[in-house]
Amino acid sequence: MENSLKWAKTQIMNSQQEYHQLFNTKPLIPYLQVVEYHQRQQIFDLILAENIEYRYLNGSCEDRTHLICLLLKKAGFDSGKIWNFAPARYTLLSNELFQIQDPLGISNPLYWGFHVSPYILSYNQNGELETLIFDLSFNTQKFLSIAEWQAFMNCPRALYLQTDLENYLFYSIESYSLRSAKIGNNPVYNIPAIQPSIITGDFWKLAPEETLVQNGLAINDLAMYIYNTKSKMDAAEQNYLSETLTNIDWLDGFVFCPKPPEISEQLHAELIGFYKQRFDFWDNKIKMLS
């Protein structure tokens, strides 16, 4: 028993040390202009009016968040991004992920390594400063406090940080190694085939010509279009697309890879056409907001 407690204590200490080392380059908490109490509902309604698809829980939280931050900036409100990381993303000593229940049953259970949402700072009725998080995936009626937001992810050991709206996504050891392994597209050194997906504390910003947000939002829309229309498909198509929806990378592959044999030419053209329509919609929206 004593050895077990000693081992657990060592694990926690090592985990904390890794966390501080990996987060030593994390962005500073952004300075945000505080929103007055009476403006809260205005902001909430402004975001709701955009009809951003939030029911597909398998991915693109970073794209929804980025769009909402751009919307608020255009409307004259400051916002930031709050990131929540599961232990498996900040320490080599744990494989614990967030376990989420999907109300639509597309993926149950659903596992996340991280989640991000937009937030604002606002005074409450007593004049106290609050951090308010907008996340329709968890609550469609109101802003959430940090504690309420984290509680939905059922992970007491989760760690969060806040960044400004320009930080689109974080680097992991894996992605950072892949980027650093090449200079001018020429391999400089060989790296292992498998690298840990531990966060480094570094974030990267979107280049003006990048369309990752548009793609992510269109993929979300396509996911729900498939979900809502699959009852009209034949059994083979239903089975194939139901499985595809359980992983956003598979859905992304469906859009950009050749037509799978399980899907008819007509259905494939319909789904790819819908994706392109939604991509163009979001592309025009983001150009208007930028």
What's the pLDDT at 196?
Answer: 66
Amino acid at site 226: I
What's the pLDDT at 10?
Answer: 40
For the chain, list the domains and their CATH numbers: 21-205 (3.10.620.30), 212-289 (no CATH)
What's the pLDDT at 177?
Answer: 46
What's the pLDDT at 29?
Answer: 83
Residue pLDDT, tens place only, 117-138: 999 999 999 999 999 999 999 9
What's the pLDDT at 116?
Answer: 98
d(CA 130, CA 123) in angstroms, rounded, equals 6
Residue 186's CB: how many other CB atoms inside 10 A?
6
What's the pLDDT at 156?
Answer: 92
What's the pLDDT at 189?
Answer: 47
Looking at residue 144, the DSSP 8-state letter turns out to be B
pLDDT tens string for the chain (290 positions)?
A: 444 334 333 444 444 554 454 555 567 788 999 999 999 999 999 999 999 999 999 989 999 999 999 999 999 999 999 999 999 999 888 999 999 999 999 998 899 999 999 999 999 999 999 999 999 999 999 999 999 999 999 999 999 999 999 999 998 876 554 444 444 454 444 555 455 678 888 899 999 999 999 999 999 999 999 999 999 999 999 999 999 999 999 999 999 999 999 999 999 999 999 999 999 999 999 999 98
Q: Kindly list the distances between the CA atom of residue 240 and the CA atoms of 171, 249, 250, in Å, as whole numbers in the listed order.
A: 32, 14, 11
Question: Phi-psi category of 189—alpha, beta or left, where left has phi over 0 and alpha has psi -120 to 50?
Answer: beta
What's the pLDDT at 155?
Answer: 94
d(CA 182, CA 100) in angstroms, rounded, equals 37
What's the pLDDT at 173?
Answer: 75
What's the pLDDT at 9?
Answer: 38
What's the pLDDT at 199?
Answer: 87
What's the pLDDT at 85?
Answer: 96
3-state secondary structure of 199: strand
